[in-house]
């Protein structure tokens, strides 16, 4: 006969342990237990059946895995917490007995601990640390704007601010910012680092009042771990990009108010070595020389110093992101050309590469500077220019292209420059759309378009806002123009290759035409006219070029028609209460009654679906029907929202007409 099994020794009851038993087993206090669990990454669990584990009681209790508590028993940090407990007891006793020398000795020998081994345990690879960085940056950015208190001290707050700005500077250096969204809670950012999307929220930098009834002890424990984690991550990121870590702080820029720009980042490598060699004083070198042949060796050293300085200057110019190349100096001022507002675009991470923004006093400079510089742009305000202290910088600086103003009317000094003035939302919408949008929609004093969230992913049948459709069509048309530009470049290359044999023999006006073509700018009509003039002179020699040009003319005509008519016709049909798809279908039916090829293809697809449905199992058939039902419900909801939007637009149009009549 077997032994009788004891309760709680096997099964589910043996896998879990409540919090009180865990604290008794570890012999630590409840605050230290919470702190240890947060640092080790051990969290409570919810068992399937509480009554079986809790001896028939359904009272609310916190459970942990037994294996996790056994894992905590061998933690070196547990011994450090016990030493700290003993230290506090001895210090209290010395103060009570007025033994001040003993208390001072105890305070100087206070036990310390390190969290490096915990970070290596929790994140074996660097990618794992990047995946868990969202909460760390959000919490550190929150504490970076808090006022210093007795509990926190000024050191913790300043360290949080420094770590956060170091991370932002890495994103600026690598141009890895992809999304930015302004919300009531704060500003959401998303950056892509090593293929990992990191999303965090940063608060608005207003003066904070810490409430007394909030317990910050749990948050301090998380902050303690996240500070060490972000320090490790920043060091690794800077090292891989060959940048010095930690970056130095410029006190002069910090006094001006350039919080983010006060950090100066330098590259590690050959330049640093050359600069260190140049700092060597000649007085330290010459006494060590022997008495003979001093003149020859001194001349060799001077030649070596000149070579080192020349190499250092070349390296500095190559690595300096703010130095202007000849291509950048010859670029056209895009912001001043009203005709090119809708046609000139720069896609990619360097979206604002050709722009210099002046940030007015009322705009959030701490956020706009980060967003603009991470997209390749330059930022300035009074006595500050893109991370440098320049006292001569004012509102009338010639380098400024765009003014960011958040007032109903700009100041007379800014408006007298006759440069482009936009509102701050323009910067964030351009980053989210990855396209430079029209300046006219974001002009000062105008009603801004809706600020859409870039984190929403639209599925089939979902309601897509009107502004999102407009941005997508705008980007599509600009991409089509970019394809035409590449086509034109290919045509020019073909023409120059075929005419290269005759250009050598001919002189005069024909030899100068390619130079005029290259300097013509971005005006599509003038380029096409010049290309057609070149065609008339060399029809017999280059038949392929003429074919390309005829294709280009057709593409340009179609593009202009699409830009002018497609979006306007869609808006008109929606404003009348009819969907754009139904109106286009009705027009096609009126135009031709013959069955088209698309209808035949649709019929074939429907027949294939029916055949596939017959082959499906019952489970898959039900799942497919459920999916189709969900798509139909989303479409109905989208149609309802579209109808509401059209009704609201009609009401607003009527009210505007009535106001205009009264005036």
Q: Which of 68-77, 232-241, 428-437, 529-538 is the least confident region? A: 529-538
Which tops the pLDDT comparison, 151 or 488? Answer: 151
Confidence of residue 303 (pLDDT cuts 50, 70, 90): low
pLDDT higher than 60, residue 490: no
pLDDT higher than 80, residue 500: no
pLDDT in tens, 613-655: 777 888 888 888 888 888 888 787 787 887 787 878 777 777 7
Average pLDDT over residues 272-278: 57
Per-residue pLDDT, 554: 52
Confidence of residue 580 (pLDDT cuts 50, 70, 90): very low
Per-residue pLDDT, 89: 92
| 329-440 CATH choice from 2.30.31.20, 3.40.50.10190, 3.40.50.10260, 3.40.140.10 | 3.40.50.10190
Mean residue pLDDT of the chain comes to: 75
Average pLDDT over residues 155-166: 90
| Contact assessment for residue 202 and residue 186, using Cβ atoms and an 8 Å cutoff | yes
pLDDT higher than 60, residue 398: yes
* Pairwise CA distance, residues 648 & 656, whole Å: 12
Per-residue pLDDT, 346: 40
pLDDT higher than 80, residue 351: yes
Q: What angle do CA 218, 221, 222 make, to 5 degrees?
A: 90
Domains of the chain by residue range: 11-108, 116-264, 270-319, 329-440, 457-497+524-587, 608-653
Token pair for 399: 């380098």
pLDDT higher than 80, residue 316: no
Counting Cα atoms < 13 Å in the Cβ hemisphere of 422 gives 26
Average pLDDT over residues 203-213: 84
pLDDT in tens, 535-547: 444 444 444 444 4
**Helix 30-40, helix 217-240: angle, nearest 10:** 20
**Exposed / middle / buried, residue 487 (Cβ in 10 Å: 0-12, 13-18, 19+):** middle
Q: Which of 10-14, 238-242, 345-349, 419-423 is the least confident region? A: 345-349
Could you give the dihedral angle defined by the CA atoms of residues 517, 522, 528 and 530, in that order, rounded to the nearest 10 degrees? -20
Per-residue pLDDT, 246: 86
Confidence of residue 141 (pLDDT cuts 50, 70, 90): very high
* Pairwise CA distance, residues 575 & 643, whole Å: 10
Edge-to-edge strands, sheet with 378-381: 388-389, 384-385, 378-381, 356-359, 402-404, 420-422
pLDDT in tens, 8-66: 677 777 888 989 999 999 999 999 999 999 999 999 998 888 887 877 777 788 999 99
Q: Which of 262-276, 297-311, 362-376, 506-520 is the least confident region? A: 506-520
Per-residue pLDDT, 12: 76
* Pairwise CA distance, residues 9 & 3, whole Å: 13
Which tops the pLDDT comparison, 509 or 56? Answer: 56
Which tops the pLDDT comparison, 489 or 343? Answer: 489
Which tops the pLDDT comparison, 432 or 539? Answer: 432
Per-residue pLDDT, 657: 75
| Contact assessment for residue 370 and residue 172, using Cβ atoms and an 8 Å cutoff | yes
The label of the residue with tokens 């879990």 reads 16
Q: What angle do CA 52, 55, 59 make, to 5 degrees?
A: 95
pLDDT higher than 60, residue 532: no
Average pLDDT over residues 490-515: 46
Per-residue pLDDT, 592: 47
Per-residue pLDDT, 414: 86
Phi, psi of 339 (to 5 degrees): -70, -30
The label of the residue with tokens 């440098």 reads 388
pLDDT in tens, 221-250: 999 999 999 999 999 999 998 888 888 887
Which tops the pLDDT comparison, 259 or 85? Answer: 85
Per-residue pLDDT, 473: 84
pLDDT in tens, 111-137: 998 999 999 999 999 999 999 999 999
Q: What angle do CA 295, 296, 299 make, to 5 degrees?
A: 85
Q: What angle do CA 266, 271, 276 make, to 5 degrees?
A: 95
Per-residue pLDDT, 560: 47
Give the number of other Cβ atoms within 10 Å of residue 247's Cβ: 19
Average pLDDT over residues 62-87: 91
Length of the chain: 663
pLDDT in tens, 362-388: 999 999 999 999 999 999 988 888 888
Per-residue pLDDT, 41: 92
Average pLDDT over residues 287-303: 52
Per-residue pLDDT, 4: 77
* Pairwise CA distance, residues 585 & 417, whole Å: 50
| Contact assessment for residue 556 and residue 528, using Cβ atoms and an 8 Å cutoff | yes
Contacts for 601-605: CB closer than 8 Å, 24+ residues apart? none
* Pairwise CA distance, residues 589 & 310, whole Å: 75
Per-residue pLDDT, 468: 85
């Amino acid at each position: 006969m077997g032994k009788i099994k004891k309760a709680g020794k096997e099964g589910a009851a043996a896998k879990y342990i409540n919090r009180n038993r865990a604290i008794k087993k570890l012999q630590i206090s409840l605050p230290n237990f919470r702190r240890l669990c947060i640092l080790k990454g051990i969290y409570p669990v919810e068992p399937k059946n509480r009554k079986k584990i809790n001896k028939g009681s359904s009272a609310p209790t916190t459970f942990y895995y037994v294996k996790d508590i056994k894992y905590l028993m061998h933690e070196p940090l547990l011994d450090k917490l016990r030493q700290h407990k003993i230290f506090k007891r001895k210090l209290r006793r010395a103060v009570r007995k007025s033994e001040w020398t003993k208390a001072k000795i105890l305070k100087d020998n206070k036990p310390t601990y390190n969290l490096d081994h915990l970070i290596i345990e929790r994140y074996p690879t660097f990618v794992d640390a990047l995946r868990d960085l969202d909460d760390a940056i959000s919490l550190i950015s929150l504490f970076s704007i808090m006022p210093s208190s007795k509990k926190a001290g000024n050191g913790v707050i300043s360290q949080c601010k420094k770590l956060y700005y170091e991370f932002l500077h890495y994103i600026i250096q690598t141009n890895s910012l992809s999304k930015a969204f302004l919300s009531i809670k704060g500003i959401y950012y998303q950056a892509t680092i090593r293929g990992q999307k990191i999303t965090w929220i940063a608060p608005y930098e207003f003066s904070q009042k810490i409430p007394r009834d909030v317990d910050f002890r749990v948050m301090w424990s998380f902050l303690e771990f996240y500070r060490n984690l972000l320090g490790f991550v920043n060091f690794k990121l800077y090292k891989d990009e060959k940048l010095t870590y930690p970056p130095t702080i410029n006190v002069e820029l910090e006094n001006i108010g350039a919080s983010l720009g006060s950090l100066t980042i330098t590259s590690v490598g050959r330049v640093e070595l050359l600069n260190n060699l140049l700092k060597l004083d000649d007085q330290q070198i010459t006494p060590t020389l022997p008495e003979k042949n001093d003149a020859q060796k001194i001349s060799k050293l001077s030649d070596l110093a000149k070579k080192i300085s020349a190499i250092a200057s070349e390296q500095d110019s190559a690595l300096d992101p703010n130095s202007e190349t000849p291509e950048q100096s010859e670029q056209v001022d895009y912001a001043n050309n009203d005709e090119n507002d809708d046609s000139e675009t720069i896609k990619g991470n360097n979206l604002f590469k050709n722009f210099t923004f002046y940030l007015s006093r009322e705009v959030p400079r701490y956020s706009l500077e980060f967003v603009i510089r991470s997209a390749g742009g330059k930022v300035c305000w009074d006595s500050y220019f893109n991370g440098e202290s320049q006292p001569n910088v004012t509102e009338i600086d010639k380098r400024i292209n765009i003014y960011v103003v958040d007032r109903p009317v700009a100041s007379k000094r800014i408006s007298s420059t006759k440069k482009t003035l936009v509102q701050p939302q323009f910067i964030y919408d351009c980053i989210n759309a990855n396209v430079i949008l029209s300046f006219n929609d974001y002009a000062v004093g105008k009603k801004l378009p809706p600020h859409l969230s870039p984190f929403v992913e639209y599925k089939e049948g979902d309601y897509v806002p009107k502004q999102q459709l407009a941005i997508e069509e705008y980007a599509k048309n600009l991409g089509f123009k970019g394809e035409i530009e590449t086509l034109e470049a290919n045509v020019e290359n073909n023409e120059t290759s075929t005419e290269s044999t005759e250009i050598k023999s001919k002189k005069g006006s024909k030899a100068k035409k390619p130079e005029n073509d290259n300097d013509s700018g971005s005006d599509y009509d003038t380029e096409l006219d010049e290309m057609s003039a070149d065609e008339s002179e060399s029809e017999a020699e280059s038949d392929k070029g003429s074919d390309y040009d005829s294709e280009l003319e057709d593409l340009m005509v179609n593009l202009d028609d699409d830009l002018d008519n497609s979006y306007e016709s869609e808006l008109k049909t929606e404003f009348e209460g009819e969907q754009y798809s139904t109106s286009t279908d009705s027009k096609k039916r009126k135009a031709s009654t013959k069955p088209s090829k698309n209808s035949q293809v649709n019929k074939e697809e429907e027949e294939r679906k029916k055949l596939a449905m017959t082959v499906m199992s019952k489970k898959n058939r039900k799942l497919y029907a459920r999916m189709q039902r969900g798509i139909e419900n989303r479409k109905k909801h989208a149609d309802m929202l579209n109808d509401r939007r059209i009704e609201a637009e009609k009401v607003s149009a009527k009210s505007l007409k009535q106001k205009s009549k009264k005036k």
